Chains A and B, each alone.
Chain A
Amino acid sequence: MKSNYAVLLIAIPLLVAFLQPLFSLINKRLTKWVTFLTIGFNFIYSLKLLNYVMANGAQIAIIGNWKPPFGINLYLSPFSMLFATIIYFVALIVLLVYLIDKPTEVDDRMSIATLLMVMASGAITLTGDIFNMFVFVEILSISTVILISFNNKGISFKGAFRYIVLASLGSSMLLLAIGFIYGSLGTLNLASIAYRFNLLNPVYASVIVFLFMAGIMVEAELFPFNAWVPEAYKGSKSYLNALLSGVVGTTGIYVLFRMFITIFGSGQNHIQVIGSVNFNAVIIVIGVLTTLIGEFSALSQKDIKKILAFSSMAQMGIIAVTIGVANMNSINAGIFHLINHAFSKSLLFIVAFPIINIVGSANIDKWEGLGRKNIFLAIAFAIGSFGLIGIPFFNGFWSKMMIVESVVSAGGWMYLVIGTILLSALVETFYFFRIIFKLFVDKKIESTYSVHIFIYLAILILSIIVIYIGIKPSFLATYIHKAAIDLVDKSHYISTVLGVIK
């Protein structure tokens, strides 16, 4: 297999996105199907590539025959391919809901934006060039803001506006950081930045890391850069919520992992003290604050979309803590939890969509008695929440166990960290159990809404995954193990991309 073909993962969606207006001439609904099929292609192809790199080790795709560090390259490794695959997979499942969404005037344009968004997310995980990454982050945020505002409600515009403000602030930070890097190191290639990053003046380096952090944490939904989260989720359509959490959030955390551990970090021992700044501590504090704020805010909400939005913010915080703890177990745990979160949270958002339509409200107080009307949806919601809060034999249990293990084993002030996280987890458990309880209250709901088979299909697939990972996590463990090794092995990353500089 020629690894260069991996460019197709970016090129084909891009091409199709530009051809969408032509398809829309035939039928606007057709554009939805075209988007779906394109993502489907991406998923299948990336799965193939994932198995290839799992067997043969990391590969690079060289674009235009310009060898790195001069040209743009894609870096295909167990870690990046794993996340690209998961992003495409989640997007594919979520698009099942998009397919049967009510037809609107703007379907063609929404299809374009959706396609660009998923493409950009996948591309961010794959790219080996920091400016390229910046461009994709820009594409991602612009297509996201378009999608949020398409819902045509007051709150959508509010959410979209807040998102665009914060995202553009973030990307200017990102651009500044990249400018500093280019000005000082003279390169934009990630491997070569990684190779030479410790040559930088420590103060200068720490400024770069701060700016980069601020830029990417907007996408990763981490406090204090996440003010857009609740309103944007509330304002957008349900399938987009699932994408925001399962795709955009995952991508943001992916970049944090890659940059902080492989590129800026110092390889094997993962200590990231740059200048006099202990970045591990900074990220841990940010993560803990995000978790605390997210869970407690979710506790006070009644709107399911906001609850889930705050909850995904909080989960991102927990994963950020594992990046900061940065021992091998915590990295394994973080990757595992990121995957679990993508599945469970998308499941919850997808389940929420038909429930909102049946009940006629996103207010959880109105959800009472849904289990009597449609037991399948109620059970699926329970499965998703169980996966998220980590009930034994659901996927989140294992990753949360590993997170607690890794944080506790770090010792010292980490006991305070784990205390705060578990307190937040207690709050989370409570509000999810409250919703599940409400679903089974005895009350009659009058509704004529019939749930489309595609929604059932999406729910079924994700539920099976959530349970399957919970019962048999070993199949995912091999992938995660290789991904984590790939992530921490800095010299391998450099030598794979740049050849033999040792």
Chain B
Amino acid sequence: MISNILLYTMIAAVISFALGQKLKAVRWSFSALFLGYVGFQLYGLYGQWGMVETHNIFSLGSINFSLNFGITKLGWFFAFFTTIINIMIWIFSIVKNMNEKEERGINFLWILLAGSNLAIFFSVDWITFFIAWEIMTWTSFFIITPGWKNSFKAANWYFILSMFGAYAMLVGIWWLYATPAIHTLNIASSIALLAKLSITAPGTVGIIIALFVLSFFAKSAVFPFHPWPAEAHAEAPDDFSPYLSGIMIKYGLYGILLFIVPLFIQIMKVNPNIAMVNGIPVYSYILAWFGAITAVLGTYLAIVSNDMKKLAAYSTVSNIGYAVTSMFILSSAGVTGGLFHVVNHAVFKSAIFLSLGAVKFRTHEREMHKLGGLATKMPITFLTFLLGIIAAAGIPPLNGYASKWIIYQALLSGHFPFLTTMIFLASTGAFLYLFRALHSIFLGQLPRKFNNVKEVPFLMQIPMILGILSMLGIGYAPGIVLKPIGLAVKAMGLTPMTVENTLMVGKLSSINTAVVSSTFIGAFFFAFAFYLIGKKRHHVEPLDNYTAGQDPEEFGLTPELYHFALKFYEPVKNIFRPIEEKLNIKNYYRALVRNANSFGATLSEMFKLSGAGSSMIFVLGLVVIILAGWML
């Protein structure tokens, strides 16, 4: 069944390739319909836990390569939700690409990507997982950079870090296999065996965990891999950014939930002499701190960025930080909260990116100080963005609130005061950048050139409306998502949280989301009534406001310079500048790349010597080899 779906995906990719550039509307509609079919099939697969399909590829020597697909609760959950979000994005893509001058044939790559997305969630052995992971990496590379030079530089950040992670995972996989006590490629059994091995050989287990963690962190842009989303998400095609941010960045978290978290839970159960902090293994505690650092760092970087897509990308980074911290608490509430936040983030961040995509679709601008006042021109987009950032900031009654509530419950009930502080700090910082984005893009004065901007076509509004509905829906009744999450959490060996459709029961308190939602919606309408009966506003040109009646053109002033979004958080930036200058990870990466290039150039000089020089290398090399061979 699963392999059939994957096979159909490949066939769909071929069909899409064959349809060609002229029929782009057809192929985007086709792919959205196809994915709808896939989603339907996935829905039917619910409940068939433990089903495994094996396809042998070949065996040579002592290794047998085979593809194994199976349905786990966690995998099904991820596969289903990502597919639904993907369908939403593709509905948006239909119109977006119809009007694009050249759509670059990314559609067939994206179908392949969607297939590898499913394969990642359905693989039950590491080889299959790695294959799906690699296909995901290279297809997404070519989608991010379909022949655009700017995006090539951006995609390189993503690609090199991802490949680095993939190779770390590859070594980890074969290290698992080469360890005699484990010697398996099955994911589930490798967890159990590794946990046992941690009693006798903690060092080996630690290194293997580190290799996998590197890979997952690189994919999910956890510190120190946090620079890539801002580059790649910002430069990717506008309809791919929601996918990157909503779905792709979650693969690392999926890996953590698939392997690292259950492993730590197992180790806690079987290994009595593991070093513990606050009731969790010390490794887990350290990794939780990585999450917290990511959350704060992402928030800061979002605050100081002026590019709206970069802002949203850094916001993603910081949200990943919350989820990572929460997951590594290893308590039931922590894992549930992390997992729930992954879903919620996928929903609201794709909604945010879709609305940004819609803004860019109409205005072709990305820098916030060139925008403004679009709320009346693009009401649906505005509403999507508004609710998206409310969700992102964790304000009730939207879905982000529900998951942040669980995360705080987990942190506080686990007694992690410092981690809680970090997450609070990041969460408060989120208000700074989110509302800045809102008022810079949608509120304030509309620049003259955008007087004729219209709302996006209806087909593009559909996914945004769906996003609004699901944000509100999950916020109103978090139980619809938390119940399947409970199954996945139970499969990891934890007691799931008690939830009902509109009720979440935490250790410290319980909350009825239906009551909260009704209260907030009531309050909203109350305030809205005030807005309606309030006085009419006067329109004053921004330049008239600031230049006291002088002719601004004499000073070379433009409305953009007086846009309040420009250098809005300059003071914040100034405070942190000394730290930023010294500790900018990006500079280290850049230096690494520069040095790799010059290292290569130096080495290749060796091959430009004359005949005499090369025979010298020959003879000297031989002498060195002989001497070294003899000595060592």
Interface residues of A (CB under 8 A from B): 161-162, 165-166, 169-170, 173, 206, 210, 213-214, 218, 223-225, 227-231, 275-279, 281-282, 285-286, 293, 295-301, 306, 310, 328-329, 332-333, 336, 371, 386, 391-393, 397-398, 401-402, 404-406, 408-409, 411, 415, 418-419, 422, 425-427, 429-430, 433-434, 436-437, 440-442, 472-474, 477, 480-481, 484
Query: Cβ of A401: which chain B residues have Cβ within 8 Å of it?
Result: 65, 127, 170
> Distance (Å) between the CB of A362 and the closest chain B CB?
16
- Interface pair B600/A298, CB less than 8 Å apart: yes
Closest residue of chain B to A209 (Cβ to Cβ) is B629
- Interface pair B57/A162, CB less than 8 Å apart: no
Query: Cβ of A336: which chain B residues have Cβ within 8 Å of it?
Result: 60
Closest residue of chain A to B170 (Cβ to Cβ) is A404
> Distance (Å) between the CB of B592 and the closest chain A CB?
11
Tell me if B62 is interfacial: C-beta within 8 Å of chain A.
yes
Binary per-residue interface labels of chain B (604-632) against chain A in the complex, 1 for a CB within 8 Å, 0 otherwise: 10111111011101111110011011101
- Interface pair B57/A165, CB less than 8 Å apart: no
Beyond A210-B626, A230-B607, A329-B61, whether A300 also contacts B600 by CB under 8 A is yes
Q: How far is the CA of A293 from the CA of B606 in the complex (A)?
A: 10
- Interface pair A296/B131, CB less than 8 Å apart: no
Partner of A440 from the list B147, B606, B615 (CB cut-off 8 Å) is: B147
Partner of A210 from the list B175, B615, B622 (CB cut-off 8 Å) is: B622
Partner of B615 from the list A169, A206, A404, A433 (CB cut-off 8 Å) is: A169
Q: How far is the CA of A299 from the CA of B598 in the complex (A)?
A: 9
> Distance (Å) between the CB of B612 and the closest chain A CB?
8
Q: How far is the CA of A434 from the CA of B152 in the complex (A)?
A: 8
Q: Which of A227, A279, A371 has the most chain B CB within a 10 Å cutoff?
A: A227
> Distance (Å) between the CB of A39 and the closest chain B CB?
29
Closest residue of chain A to B59 (Cβ to Cβ) is A477
Q: How far is the CA of A419 from the CA of B61 in the complex (A)?
A: 23
Q: Which of B127, B146, B601, B611 has the most chain A CB within a 10 Å cutoff?
A: B611
Q: How far is the CA of A406 from the CA of B60 in the complex (A)?
A: 12
Q: How far is the CA of A436 from the CA of B598 in the complex (A)?
A: 22
The 4 closest A-B pairs by CB, nearest first: A224-B621, A227-B614, A297-B604, A300-B600
- Interface pair A297/B60, CB less than 8 Å apart: no
Query: Cβ of A371: which chain B residues have Cβ within 8 Å of it?
Result: 147
Within 8 A of A (CB), among B581-608: 596-601, 603-604, 606-608
- Interface pair A166/B614, CB less than 8 Å apart: yes
Interface contacts beyond A293-B606, A437-B147: sample of 4 additional A-B pairs, CB < 8 Å, sorted by A: A162-B611, A230-B608, A329-B61, A481-B60
- Interface pair B597/A477, CB less than 8 Å apart: no
Partner of A230 from the list B167, B598, B604, B629 (CB cut-off 8 Å) is: B604
- Interface pair A224/B617, CB less than 8 Å apart: yes
- Interface pair B63/A405, CB less than 8 Å apart: yes
Query: Cβ of A223: which chain B residues have Cβ within 8 Å of it?
Result: 621
Beyond A227-B618, A279-B629, A474-B57, whether A404 also contacts B603 by CB under 8 A is no
- Interface pair A277/B604, CB less than 8 Å apart: no
Partner of B167 from the list A296, A422, A480 (CB cut-off 8 Å) is: A422
Q: How far is the CA of A204 from the CA of B620 in the complex (A)?
A: 20
Query: Cβ of A429: which chain B residues have Cβ within 8 Å of it?
Result: 163
> Distance (Å) between the CB of A104 and the closest chain B CB?
26
Q: How far is the CA of A391 from the CA of B598 in the complex (A)?
A: 27
Tell me if B164 is interfacial: C-beta within 8 Å of chain A.
yes
Query: Cβ of B145: which chain A residues have Cβ within 8 Å of it?
Result: 437
- Interface pair A297/B57, CB less than 8 Å apart: no
Beyond A161-B611, A169-B618, A210-B629, whether A418 also contacts B60 by CB under 8 A is no
- Interface pair A165/B611, CB less than 8 Å apart: yes
- Interface pair B102/A404, CB less than 8 Å apart: no
Beyond A227-B617, A228-B614, A408-B174, whether A300 also contacts B607 by CB under 8 A is no
Q: How far is the CA of A293 from the CA of B609 in the complex (A)?
A: 15
Beyond A227-B606, A332-B61, A405-B178, whether A425 also contacts B167 by CB under 8 A is yes
Query: Cβ of A161: which chain B residues have Cβ within 8 Å of it?
Result: 611
Interchain Cβ contacts within 8 Å, total number: 190
Query: Cβ of A214: which chain B residues have Cβ within 8 Å of it?
Result: 618, 622, 625
- Interface pair B629/A278, CB less than 8 Å apart: yes
Tell me if B177 is interfacial: C-beta within 8 Å of chain A.
yes
Within 8 A of A (CB), among B146-193: 146-149, 152, 156, 159-160, 163-164, 167, 170-171, 174-175, 177-178
Q: How far is the CA of A227 from the CA of B145 in the complex (A)?
A: 36
> Distance (Å) between the CB of B105 and the closest chain A CB?
9
- Interface pair B600/A297, CB less than 8 Å apart: yes
Query: Cβ of A422: which chain B residues have Cβ within 8 Å of it?
Result: 167, 170-171
Tell me if B259 is interfacial: C-beta within 8 Å of chain A.
no
Tell me if B26 is interfacial: C-beta within 8 Å of chain A.
no
Beyond A398-B58, A405-B174, A426-B167, whether A300 also contacts B601 by CB under 8 A is yes
Within 8 A of A (CB), among B362-395: none
Beyond A162-B614, A227-B618, whether A409 also contacts B600 by CB under 8 A is no
Q: How far is the CA of A415 from the CA of B632 in the complex (A)?
A: 19
Surface stretch bound by A, among B134-142, B243-251, B459-467: B134-142
Partner of B604 from the list A275, A310, A415, A436 (CB cut-off 8 Å) is: A310
Q: List 21 A-B contacts (CB under 8 A).
A: A165-B615, A169-B619, A224-B625, A227-B614, A297-B600, A297-B601, A299-B600, A300-B604, A333-B61, A391-B138, A398-B58, A401-B170, A415-B171, A426-B163, A426-B167, A427-B596, A437-B142, A473-B57, A473-B60, A473-B65, A481-B60
Closest residue of chain B to A421 (Cβ to Cβ) is B167
Beyond A293-B603, A300-B604, whether A392 also contacts B61 by CB under 8 A is no
- Interface pair B174/A409, CB less than 8 Å apart: yes
> Distance (Å) between the CB of A316 and the closest chain B CB?
15
Partner of A277 from the list B147, B599, B608, B629 (CB cut-off 8 Å) is: B629
Query: Cβ of A277: which chain B residues have Cβ within 8 Å of it?
Result: 629-630
Q: How far is the CA of A495 from the CA of B495 in the complex (A)?
A: 67
Q: How far is the CA of A392 from the CA of B139 in the complex (A)?
A: 11
Query: Cβ of B174: which chain A residues have Cβ within 8 Å of it?
Result: 404-405, 408-409
- Interface pair B600/A411, CB less than 8 Å apart: no
- Interface pair A227/B625, CB less than 8 Å apart: no
- Interface pair A411/B156, CB less than 8 Å apart: no
> Distance (Å) between the CB of B534 and the closest chain A CB?
51
- Interface pair A430/B160, CB less than 8 Å apart: yes
Query: Cβ of B600: which chain A residues have Cβ within 8 Å of it?
Result: 295-300, 427
> Distance (Å) between the CB of A287 and the closest chain B CB?
12
Binary per-residue interface labels of chain B (203-233) against chain A in the complex, 1 for a CB within 8 Å, 0 otherwise: 0000000000000000000000000000000
- Interface pair B630/A391, CB less than 8 Å apart: no
> Distance (Å) between the CB of B456 and the closest chain A CB?
25
- Interface pair B146/A440, CB less than 8 Å apart: yes
- Interface pair B152/A426, CB less than 8 Å apart: no
Query: Cβ of B628: which chain A residues have Cβ within 8 Å of it?
Result: 282, 285
> Distance (Å) between the CB of B1 and the closest chain A CB?
21
Q: How far is the CA of A415 from the CA of B127 in the complex (A)?
A: 20
- Interface pair B147/A426, CB less than 8 Å apart: no
- Interface pair A332/B175, CB less than 8 Å apart: no
Query: Cβ of A218: which chain B residues have Cβ within 8 Å of it?
Result: 618
Beyond A166-B614, A282-B629, A418-B171, whether A430 also contacts B134 by CB under 8 A is no
Q: How far is the CA of A386 from the CA of B174 in the complex (A)?
A: 22
> Distance (Å) between the CB of A425 and the closest chain B CB?
7
Partner of B135 from the list A275, A392, A427, A472 (CB cut-off 8 Å) is: A392
Closest residue of chain B to A442 (Cβ to Cβ) is B147
Q: How far is the CA of A477 from the CA of B61 in the complex (A)?
A: 9
> Distance (Å) between the CB of A181 and the closest chain B CB?
18
> Distance (Å) between the CB of A175 and the closest chain B CB?
15
- Interface pair A166/B177, CB less than 8 Å apart: no
Query: Cβ of B618: which chain A residues have Cβ within 8 Å of it?
Result: 166, 169-170, 214, 218, 224-225, 227
Q: How far is the CA of A140 from the CA of B157 in the complex (A)?
A: 45
- Interface pair A391/B177, CB less than 8 Å apart: no
Closest residue of chain B to A398 (Cβ to Cβ) is B65
Q: Which of B62, B131, B600, B601 has the most chain A CB within a 10 Å cutoff?
A: B600
- Interface pair B152/A437, CB less than 8 Å apart: yes
- Interface pair A430/B159, CB less than 8 Å apart: yes
Within 8 A of A (CB), among B419-445: none
